[in-house]
């Protein structure tokens, strides 16, 4: 029988990787809470229509990447490929329009069938933030600034670049789409196969093509800024000025797009050069038409998603593993006393593990391998005397502590910090 392995594009997360993940998520939740965001957890699978309707049949996600299946009841279900559609569905299902604005933060696994690469998995993990019910440019500034603050507090301020663009309002976007259609139609035979398909479905997507031939054609393509009406220009200028006041550096990238029709105005990506080709670590935009498209009331929204897997890889050092205190009872009577002491210490927020097998030398060797800070040793003699032995595993010093003086013990253990 061959050795069992995880499915291609998935992995087990433990040890240092798990601590890196926790640091990303904990920082995200702490910063997002300071902006008034509350947690929202959605199911990892939804009715397929939740994703198919807004993403579109012709999109790569729907046509090539979604994990869809029919359950035993005949329902068409899909593992979530992204959070935004799920959160929009939750907003509609739960009648949240009565409580606008809504600020939601979410995190967890997402699923897409892609070719696994560095930092890209078929089960990947995201942090996600959505602000619903505010249509002013100040909301865009707030959401982008929050993303930048999270990245900064993770230590990435010097390693990321915020790419920013405007897609304009509906009127501006329609005019720009027509201009792109006319321009790219002159190069139909020179475009890649994917871009030829996009020419008939959504020419804006050609702007972020990774094909080298397409990139040359895009260089002289019309610019969105030439087709923005006064409303769109004023909105984008406010976002730019607001980010400057918030001290969030950015570059205006006119090829940055969001191809779906419900996106308007602001689009942005935080990009790093430290991960090679997989450089986007957080991306988002304004999507004022999404909730209406899903059958809900017209509700503006803006949000972003960040890749936990990639952000965790960027951390210079993982958080240190908590050094435990190892309690070592020698014999059954001591084991019962050890249970009592261990629970008392855990109530005082200490991390305590127990080792009940082998001789003392082997136990101490294991404790040092676990990078424990102290060993608490209890044997028959200690029980009779009402003491325990406290051994400092860094310097080898050992002392007796009276069992009925727990405050003395906790003060000695705390002094290690």
Report DSSP letters for 118-165, one per residue. Answer: TTB-SEEEEEEEEEES--SHHHHHHHHHHHHHHHHHTT-TTTEEEEEE
Tell me if the domain spanning 325-414 has CATH number 3.40.50.800. yes
- Distance between CA atoms of residues 291 and 299, nearest Å: 6
- Distance between CA atoms of residues 318 and 323, nearest Å: 14
| Fold of domain 15-169+229-314 | BirA Bifunctional Protein; domain 2 (3.30.930)
- Distance between CA atoms of residues 372 and 351, nearest Å: 10
Identify the pLDDT of residue 198. 85
- Distance between CA atoms of residues 270 and 256, nearest Å: 11
User: Could you give the 3-state DSSP secondary structure of residue 248?
Assistant: coil
pTM above 0.85, yes or no: yes
Contact predicate 85/18, CB 8 Å: no
Is residue 55 exposed (0-12), middle (13-18) or buried (19+ Cβ within 10 Å)?
buried
Backbone φ and ψ for 69, nearest 5 degrees, come out as -160, 160
Identify the pLDDT of residue 59. 64
Residues 6+ positions from 158 with CB-CB distance below 8 Å:
none
Q: Domain-by-domain residue ranges, the chain? A: 15-169+229-314, 325-414
Identify the pLDDT of residue 1. 44
Residues 6+ positions from 224 with CB-CB distance below 8 Å:
165, 166, 167, 168, 172, 176, 254
Residues 6+ positions from 288 with CB-CB distance below 8 Å:
135, 262, 264, 265, 298, 299, 300, 301
Backbone φ and ψ for 87, nearest 5 degrees, come out as -70, -40
Identify the pLDDT of residue 160. 95
Mean pLDDT by 10 residues, the chain (417 residues): 82 94 97 98 96 72 84 95 95 95 98 84 96 97 98 94 94 91 92 88 84 91 93 97 98 84 90 81 94 94 96 90 95 94 94 95 95 95 94 94 87 77
């Amino acid at each position: 029988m061959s050795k069992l392995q995880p499915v291609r594009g998935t992995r087990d997360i433990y040890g240092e990787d798990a601590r890196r993940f926790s640091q990303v998520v904990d920082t995200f939740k702490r910063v997002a809470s300071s902006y008034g965001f509350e947690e929202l957890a959605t199911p990892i699978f939804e009715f397929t229509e939740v994703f198919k309707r807004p993403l579109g049949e012709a999109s790569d996600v729907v046509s090539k990447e979604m994990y869809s299946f029919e359950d035993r009841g005949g329902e068409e279900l899909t593992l979530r490929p992204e959070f935004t559609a799920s959160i929009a569905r939750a907003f509609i299902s739960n009648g949240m329009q009565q409580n606008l604005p809504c600020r939601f933060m979410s995190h967890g696994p997402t699923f897409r069938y892609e070719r696994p690469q560095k930092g890209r998995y078929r089960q990947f993990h995201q942090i996600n933030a959505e602000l619903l019910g505010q249509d002013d440019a100040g909301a865009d500034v707030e959401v982008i600034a929050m993303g930048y603050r999270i990245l900064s507090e993770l230590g990435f301020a010097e390693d990321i670049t915020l790419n920013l663009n405007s897609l304009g309002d509906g009127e501006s976007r329609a005019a720009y789409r027509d201009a792109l259609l006319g321009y790219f139609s002159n190069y139909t035979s020179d475009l890649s196969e994917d871009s030829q398909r996009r020419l008939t479905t959504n020419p804006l997507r050609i702007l972020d093509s990774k094909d080298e031939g397409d990139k040359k054609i895009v260089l002289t393509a019309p610019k969105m800024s030439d087709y923005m009406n006064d409303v769109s220009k004023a909105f984008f200028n406010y976002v730019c000025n607001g980010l400057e006041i918030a001290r969030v550096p950015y570059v205006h990238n006119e090829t940055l797009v969001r191809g779906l029709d419900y996106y308007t105005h602001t689009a942005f990506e935080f990009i790093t050069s430290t991960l090679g080709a997989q450089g986007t670590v957080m991306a988002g935009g304004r999507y004022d038409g999404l909730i209406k498209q899903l059958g809900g009331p017209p509700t503006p929204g803006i949000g972003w998603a960040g890749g936990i897997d990639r952000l965790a890889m960027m951390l210079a050092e993982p958080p240190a593993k908590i050094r435990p205190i190892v309690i070592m009872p020698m014999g059954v009577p001591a084991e019962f006393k050890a249970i009592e002491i261990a629970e008392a210490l855990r109530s005082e927020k200490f991390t305590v593990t127990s080792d009940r097998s082998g001789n003392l030398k082997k136990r101490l060797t294991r404790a040092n391998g676990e990078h424990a800070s102290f060993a608490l040793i209890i044997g028959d003699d200690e029980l009779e005397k009402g003491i325990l032995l406290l051994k400092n595993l860094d310097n080898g010093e050992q002392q007796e502590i009276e069992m009925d003086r727990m405050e003395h013990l906790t003060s000695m253990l705390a002094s290690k910090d």
